[in-house]
A and B are shown apart, each in its own frame.
Chain A
Amino acid sequence: MSERLTLEVNGDEVVVEVPADEALVNTLRDRLGLRSVRPTCGLGICGTCTVQLDGAVASSCLLLTVQVEGRSIRTSEGLTNDDGGLSRVQQAFVDNGAYQCAYCIPGMVVTVEACLAESPDATMEEVREYLAGNLCRCGTYVSILEAVTELVRGERE
């Protein structure tokens, strides 16, 4: 039982034909090739499948693709600038060495973008709470907080 539906993914309208029980994470990874979106826990706990759904963070492993018909989805690949350059959040991660194995990092980036869009002057306590749903097994948290601190303090262009 497949359904044909339209999504807005990283600014582009795409039409997909998916089984009714397919999770959004699988549609993004396997049909649209957006490999930055990764299933790890399958329970909405780890955050490696985080996407922005109409600007708000969401676990794409907990959403059925048919549930988000017509909605706007953004992944880390879609956060780069129009010229393909890194977003300021992505650049801050690179410059602060805020990655190790990096399996979790695109999800972190998506969350940080949403956090700063919502509260550009977020305190570190707020950032920590915001990122509580993005786990990093390598333990890169300190570098990630340093990257976000730079962004919040406006130390970056």
Chain B
Amino acid sequence: MPDAEERVVGTLRYTVDHSVEGMAHGRLVRSPYPHARLVDVDVSGALAQDGVLRVLTGADIERAVEIPNPYFGLTRRDQPPLAIGSARYVGDPVALVIAETPQSARDGAGAVIVEYDELPYVIEPMEALAPGAPQLHEEWPGNECGEWRLHRGDVDLAMSQATHVFEATYTSPMANAVPFEPHVAIAAWDDDSLDVWTATQWPSAVRGELAHMFDTDPGNVQIRVFPLGGGYGAKSQLKIEPIVAVAAKLVGRPVRLELERDEVFLTTGKHPAVMHIRTGVDAEGRFVAREIDLVYNGGAYAVMTPKAVAQGLLRSIGPYRFPNIRIRSRGVYTNTVPSGSFRGAMTNQAAFAYESHADEIAEGLGIDPFDLRERNLLQEGDVFASGQVMHDIHFHELLRDVAAVIGWGEESAPPTPGKAVGKGIAVIVKTTPPGTRSEVRVEMRADGDVLVHTNSVDMGQGVLGTLAQLTAHHLGVDIGKVKVQDPDSSTFDSMTAGSRTTFVADHAIGEACESIRRQVAELADVGGHPSPHTAVEYQEILLGAGITSLIGEGAYQSPPSDALSNPLDIRGEVADHWHQGAVAVEVAVDVETGKVEILRCHGAAWAGRVVNPVRARQQSEGSIIFGLGPALFEEVIVADGQVTNPNLSDYMIPSIVDVPIELTSSSLESPDADAAIHGVGEMTIPAVAPAIANAISRATGARVRHMPMTAERVLRAIVGEPE
């Protein structure tokens, strides 16, 4: 990475380090009730504090003529920057104190008195779906937050003819991505022009939505992004940007807001999910029918849930052939933290279910779990449940890779007294996000530098280095000449998410570089130069022609598909390529305490072509380590509507002592030098939890169907007690 030294020494600037002249500081007042009508907000005490400039409420925003559209949202515009009328979850922002210093803002926030009228609330999705449940949004009756269905073949007939039918329910709770740099943003207006510096993965989406709120052209909104101190999905969509944009508008000064750690927990989370699976199998263990019912808790606002549950549906199928399949996937509003993206989005929950289920079937039939997978895994040219013919499919290679490394079929490590040991495997598929676009502008300058403009965000995956490497490769110049610019809204990119950036950037950069090569060739023809291969040769041609710079533009656009045009009948092309991964683990379970120790772990991702081996490995192994948390101990606990553990003391994340001593990974490549590059950011994380669950089962005979697999849950499963 070009900025490696700054990263290691600590001089790299993040958004949290940025300041703007004359900026004021914000501090939010949040609802202590899961559902309450806002009766009155008394701001007089806050305004009497030193340094407090203004206190804003939802009512101020609603009546402000400067803000024609006070609600935002990328799927449904159901969320105000500050609650209007009622607060819908504990932590819902109801007022913003704006002051000269962060300390004054904090003091002011403590002096705001809000009068609430408590309303009935609902936390559990199944209760929220029941008749008579408290309703969150008038416009969306029944707390409906997206429903998608898929069916293929005749499930009922196949189920009735199946030799065996297996059935189980698997659940996973809310988790927090815990990016170390919190959500932080600054907004500044200059007449009608808005600048926002924000730690976001989705600058183009933030730009479009803010432009809508203020009814202005997106060209008047610039979103500037420094490298992120972690994202993992938590910095997707819009978070606090509407709050600072509105505040800066109404106070006439730049406003900065940085969330405290507990507020990060109250801002977004992984979708809690309940997945019920029924599977019919024939005598040889081949899957003949499957039925899936999937319910995702969307929390108090839609964010992406109405669309995300479609991906949740597609990502619940797994890497197997199903001639007959029927799926329903629903999102539900509840009075909890709004759910959003989380590394391995909408795949972690489902993979835990379908890969645990695969082993339960194998065990029920007395078939080795490896053999059961071999018989059912999708292969090149097979038809996915949506009807799409699949290409570039490598599940068997991934399964065999992880099985070989973990020594599948060989004896486990000898058990020590009181410990049971066992191995587990899991294979996953993740569909790519649909309908996305990425633009790149490459500028070849006569001084020899190559500037790359994108709206892709570096969040630790090293995208700046990767884009530089791809540009150097496509132009044939030295990487030291390539300078990738931080996102500044000069180009469009749907998102830096879904493990898509390397794949799409290779296409877009290839196109932009091809354009430059063409332009240079035309100039060279005139000047009689040969085709250039080094920066110096490009430079000579540009200088010879008296040109200071050339611009090449390129874009990647997902192929058009109408597969998601009918929510009740998903059908057709659902992915432009397929993310594929696998994990194998060996665990030791303390049979007296239920504590699980990961002795060894190996992950594999289908990479197609590896751009940078160090970064590819860090994505796969980092993804495994990240996945250990929600698998074994991470859970945002909600009691009576309150998040009770919004801090790193009560919500623990993996430390270095949680990392298996033996942790390895493979990035599998095609022998074809021009093979498509596949993203590798999330290929191992979804397989971690089910591989562990399967290993626990093989070690102890106990099956845990709830994440996280805490010592208590494992012990209860071992002794056969209900939770």
Chain A contacts to B: CB under 8 angstroms? 34-38, 40-43, 45-46, 48, 75-77, 79-80, 86, 90, 93-94, 97-106, 109, 128-129, 131-145
Contact = CB atoms under 8 A, between A and B. Distances in A.
A137 B8 contact: no
Given A103-B14, A139-B654, A140-B618, A36 B9 contact: yes
Contacts of A35: 10-11, 13, 17
Interface string B648-660: 1100011111010
A147 B621 CA distance: 16
A109 B8 contact: yes
A94 B618 contact: no
Contact of B618 (A42, A75, A97, A145): A97
Contacts of A145: 656
Interface of B: 1, 4-5, 7-14, 16-17, 177-182, 227-232, 260-261, 459-462, 614-615, 618, 621-626, 647-649, 653-657, 659, 663
Nearest to B612: A97
A150 B667 CA distance: 24
A126 B653 CA distance: 20
Nearest to B461: A100
B11 A142 contact: no
A93 B8 contact: yes
A72 to B, nearest CB: 19
B229 A101 contact: yes
B653 A138 contact: no
Contact of A36 (B11, B623, B663): B11
Contacts of A137: 177-180, 230, 232, 626, 653
B585 to A, nearest CB: 15
Nearest to B7: A102
Closest 6 pairs between A and B when the two form their complex, measured CB to CB: A36-B10, A101-B460, A139-B625, A106-B10, A139-B622, A103-B229
A138 B648 contact: no
B6 to A, nearest CB: 8
A76 B7 CA distance: 11
Contacts, number: 149
Contacts of B1: 97, 99
Contacts of B460: 100-102, 138
Contact of B648 (A41, A80, A100): A41
A109 B649 CA distance: 23
A132 B654 CA distance: 10
B653 A135 contact: yes
B176 to A, nearest CB: 10
A102 B8 contact: yes
A102 B621 CA distance: 16
A80 B11 CA distance: 12
B656 A101 contact: no
Given A101-B231, A139-B625, 9 more contacts: A35-B10, A38-B180, A40-B182, A76-B10, A90-B9, A93-B8, A100-B460, A102-B12, A133-B655
A101 B459 contact: yes
B68 to A, nearest CB: 37
A134 B656 contact: yes
B622 A100 contact: yes
A131 B177 CA distance: 21
Nearest to B665: A142
A141 B629 CA distance: 14
B430 to A, nearest CB: 18
Contacts of B657: 128-129, 132
A43 B8 contact: no
A20 to B, nearest CB: 13
Contacts of B663: 142
Nearest to A100: B460
B10 A105 contact: yes
Contact of B11 (A48, A77, A104): A77
Given A100-B461, A101-B230, A103-B229, A138 B10 contact: no
A94 B8 CA distance: 7
18 contacts: A35-B11, A36-B9, A38-B10, A38-B229, A43-B649, A79-B9, A80-B9, A94-B4, A94-B8, A98-B8, A100-B618, A101-B179, A101-B181, A101-B228, A103-B229, A128-B656, A132-B656, A132-B657
A65 B1 CA distance: 35
A99 B623 contact: no
Contacts of B622: 100, 138-140
Given A100-B618, A102-B7, A142 B659 contact: yes
B261 A94 contact: no
A99 B648 contact: no
Contacts of B12: 102
Contact of A40 (B13, B227, B461, B648): B648
A59 to B, nearest CB: 12
A138 B618 contact: yes
Contacts of A37: 10
User: Most chain-B Cβ atoms within 10 A of its Cβ — which of A94, A97, A109, A140?
Assistant: A97
B8 A86 contact: yes
B623 A139 contact: yes
B103 to A, nearest CB: 9
Nearest to A75: B10
A42 B229 contact: no
Contacts of A46: 180, 648
Nearest to A105: B8
B621 A139 contact: yes
A138 B230 contact: yes
Contacts of A109: 8-10
Contact of B261 (A36, A41, A76): A41
Contacts of B7: 99, 102, 105
Contacts of B16: 38
B14 A144 contact: no
User: Most chain-B Cβ atoms within 10 A of its Cβ — which of A35, A128, A142, A144?
Assistant: A142
Nearest to A94: B4
A94 to B, nearest CB: 5
A141 B654 CA distance: 10
A141 B180 contact: no
Contacts of A135: 180, 648, 653-655
Given A99-B8, A101-B227, A103-B229, A41 B13 contact: no
A97 B11 contact: no
A140 to B, nearest CB: 6
A75 B13 CA distance: 16
Contacts of B231: 101
Given A106-B10, A128-B656, A137-B653, A45 B648 contact: yes
B656 A103 contact: no
A142 B621 contact: yes
A46 B648 CA distance: 8
Contacts of B11: 35-36, 77
A40 B647 CA distance: 10
A100 B647 CA distance: 23
B182 to A, nearest CB: 8
B180 A104 contact: yes
B8 to A, nearest CB: 5
A143 B180 contact: no
Nearest to A30: B102
